[in-house]
Amino acid sequence: MITLDTNLTVQSSSFYYLLNKLRRKYGYTNKNIDSYTEAYAAKGIPRANQAEKTEEVSGVNDVKAKENLDYEKLIEDLKLNLPENRFAILLLLPRSELFEMLELLGKEKLLNGLKFFTKEKLMTLIAGLPKKELLKMLFEMFTNPSQLIENLPTKELYLFLRSDKIEKGHFMKMFELMPHKTLSTIAGYLTKKNCKDMSKKELLHEIKGFEKFHIIDSFRKLDDKSLRNFITTMTDSYPKLYNEFSHLALFNVANRFAKIDLIESMIVIDESKIMNMLAELPDKLLALTVSQIDPEVFAALLLNDYQEILAGLVLG
């Protein structure tokens, strides 16, 4: 997985040393850049009697300076290949625009942003996922779908079997695949007869005469392994039936995994769902996530849409 340097918040102070150097290079040493730092020094109160003409001249000079600025050269000098420099500039952008930039990151980079959440907060966000996305995550974390069935409580398995989406016909087809011993146990419970010497065909015929709820009740005579094997075979044969497990039961299984496993499993869910989660990050951590953006892509964005900010960095 791609990693994210969380020390950028400390390293970004070097970016402002770079700006001071660039201001001297571009000939604007009489300006200050304090408006772009997180904590700025007191500069005093402007003189109340400052002449309007002086302000007008300064404004004209600023416009000319911006027009004469070599933005492409400035982009090169800003060393956007360094993530701490990208992060420092991103801190100047509105939250809404940072959020839009998330779309320019690959899914693996988006997942890095989820690492800022605690396990508790992450589970709160996962609780809001649709069941199909939660199932995708679980199948990604388990090496075999049968492991999901193994980790569900017995009560949930019986609730699953009672689903309206599971018909008696589903049971009968599964019974054809079951061992003779298991079938004879079910048939014996239902008929109250000794069915051990019946053929598989005879057993199926006996069972077919009972309603679904009777058949489910007979499963209580099976051992836990046989019950789970039956449901595993059914879900393997009819994958859509996984949706009949309750969201809460699936959530509880997911909650047993470590935070990093949960995050890595989200590689399989819809990207928009990940972005919705990242919307919960505070501004600074959102900017830190976006700082993973490709330097060339970021440079093009700055040139096309943020020349005012670029000028402000060196003109004050």
Write down the domain spans for the chain.
8-39+50-113+283-315, 122-276
pLDDT in tens, the chain (316 residues): 556 665 655 555 677 777 777 777 776 543 433 443 333 334 443 444 444 444 443 443 455 556 667 788 888 888 899 999 999 999 999 999 999 999 999 999 999 999 999 999 999 999 999 999 999 999 999 999 899 999 999 999 999 999 999 999 999 999 999 999 999 999 999 999 998 899 999 999 999 999 999 999 999 999 999 999 999 999 999 999 999 999 999 999 999 999 999 999 999 999 999 999 999 999 999 999 999 999 999 999 999 998 888 888 877 6
Output the pLDDT for position 191.
Answer: 93
Output the pLDDT for position 22.
Answer: 75
Estimate to the nearest angstrom the gap between the alpha carbon of 150 and the chain centroid: 26
Output the pLDDT for position 14.
Answer: 76
Q: What angle do CA 115, 118, 120 make, to 5 degrees?
A: 135
Output the pLDDT for position 218.
Answer: 94
CA quadruple 188, 191, 192, 194: dihedral sign: negative
- Contact (Cβ atoms closer than 8 angstroms) between residue 275 and residue 281: no
Residue 244 carries which DSSP code?
A: G
